[in-house]
Structure 1
Amino acid sequence: MPVTTVPVAMRWSDMDAYGHVNNTEFFRYTEQARIEALAVVKARPDTGTLVVRHEVEYLVPLTYTSSGVLVDVWVTHVGGAGFDLGYEVATQDEAGGRTVHARSASTMVMYSFSAAAPRRISAEEREFLARLDGPPVQFRRSTRQG
């Protein structure tokens, strides 16, 4: 599975009154990783990507660590104007072992600011996204009816 791994710094203030990283901070971690992993997709003028759906499953509580987190990002589906991303937010111990704290998925849409509407994914963008192709996120419990 082609994955881009992005190290993301943590802040002490990411933790909440319960002594673990607040759930909303996981969205920030995946956002930072997504921005870095997809910088090429956003290179076109007057265009961007919008998050239209986000799902997260918390697996193991996360506490502050000065080494930050590692966020794996990959593409799980590419459509006409949108694409889906998968993520794993993990920490790595001194021996190199990883603990996955959360899995999540986002549905993104390519957007034209001048037209104020979604736009088709270009051939170059499609080629770039294909290089990050991977499997669907394996949630423990699916909320989708199927």
Structure 2
Amino acid sequence: MGVFVSEIRPRWSDMDAFGHVNHASTVTLLEEARVDLLFHEAGLRGANDMAAGVVIAKLSVEYHAPLFATGGSVRIELSVREIRGAYFILDYVVRSGPKETDPVAVTATTTLAPYDLVNGKPRRITDAERDFLAAWHNGGNGGVLHV
């Protein structure tokens, strides 16, 4: 599969005094796309443990152009860069519109750790999660899944 695509619509309330989507709202757009992948899509593919707990260990965001709330959606492309025993890294490409050819406005990376909410501690990635994440590894076959 390679790349997971989520289309998210920025809200008018996401814009700041300068007329573009502010940083906190941009991070929320990334979160919404990540939830689509790690909770919704993972559940459909049998990796239900993701929804039981995963935390952000690191976040990096680079802005290439401003995002605007125009009433339309932006395209967020997610891929898995790295999978380790107790964490994985997601890469994001946020395009200014819904098309694959729309300009890149933001790139980002998150390091995520599966977390045992009941016992309050990090946990290892399960085999089902590893298989799910491997399908979205950026070294995959380059296919794109739209949601």
Alignment TM-score, normalising by the size of structure 1? 0.84
Are residues 79 and 46 of structure 1, via their aligned partners in 2, closer, same or farther at CA, if it must alter by over 3 Å?
Answer: same
The superposition leaves residues 12-48 of structure 1 with CA deviations (integer Å, 9 ceiling, x where unpaired) of: 1111001111111110011000000112267239831
Q: Would you say the 8 A contact 2:38–2:51 is kept in 1?
A: no
- List per-residue Cα deviations over 1:82-111 (Å, max 9, x = no partner): 1000001112378x7311110000000000
Alignment gaps of 5+ in structure 1? 136-146
For the structure 1 residues 25 and 45, does the alpha-carbon distance in structure 2 shift closer, same or farther, using more than 3 Å as the test?
closer
Structure 1 residues 52 and 120 mapped into 2: Cα distance closer, same or farther (>3 Å)? same
Within 1, Cα distance between the matches of 2:38 and 2:121? 20
Please say which structure displays the higher CA radius of gyration. 1
5 Å-filtered alignment, 1:65-80, equals: 65-80=70-85
Give the 3 Å change call, closer, same or farther, for CA 58–44 of structure 1 in structure 2: same
Residue 103 (1) aligns with residue 107 (2): yes
Aligned residue number for residue 129 of structure 2: 125
Moved more, 39-48 or 67-76: 39-48
Does the 8 Å CA contact 2:114/2:125 hold for their aligned counterparts? yes
> What's 1:43 paired with?
48
Aligned partner of 1:16 in structure 2 is: 16
* Secondary structure class of the residue paired with 2:103: strand
Paired residues of 2:9 and 2:69 also in contact (CA < 8 A): no
Q: Give the Cα separation in 2 of the matches to 1:10 and 1:93.
A: 12
Change (3 A) 1:46 1:92: closer
> Would the aligned equivalents of 2:10 and 2:68 in 1 still touch at CA under 8 Å?
no
Shift of 1:80: 0.7
Q: Is 1:59 paired with 2:64?
A: yes
Q: Distance in 2 between matches of 1:32 and 1:50?
A: 14
Distance 1:114 1:101 in 2: 38
State the identity %: 33
2:27 partner letter: F
| Cross-structure match for 1:86 | 91
The amino acid of 2:110's aligned partner reads S
